[in-house]
Amino acid sequence: MMITYQKNCSLTTDDIIRVFHTSGIKRPIDDHDRITTMFAHANLVISAWHDARLIGIARALTDYSYCCYLSDLAVDKEYHHQGVGSELIAHVRQNISEQTSLLLVSAPSAIDYYPKVGFSPLEHGFIIKRLA
């Protein structure tokens, strides 16, 4: 199976919503405009494709020199356990400098996944939660 990866290519909101839905990630998939805005303002998006079908997304916000926040990592469940998520992360890392920290906030269901792909847990972190 040939999976290809692209950086910052044009994605339709409907395709993004489909991948979010089929991946199991919790995102506001009923709010088309919000998903559109989320991707319009991201400055690094890596997408995974199989037979011209979007199957995975890594959406990040970065300054390319100090920090990169990996906001979304979603892979269609049909493609789980095939290395797509770790390959998306690898592409993000290839696009940021070695001086750039890659960080994320994990969903409880994915906590065991991230150490397997090179992430270390953080001891100190804070959040002001969104209201909606």
Through-space distance between the first and last CA atoms of the chain, rounded to whole angstroms? 39
pLDDT digits (tens, 9 = 90+) for 92-118: 999 999 999 999 999 888 899 999 999
Domain boundaries, the chain: 3-116
Q: What is the per-residue pLDDT across 17-38, written as a single tens digit (0 to 9) for each?
A: 999 999 999 999 999 999 999 9
Distance CA 114, CA 39 (A): 23
Is domain 3-116 annotated with CATH 3.60.15.10? no
pTM of this prediction?
A: 0.94
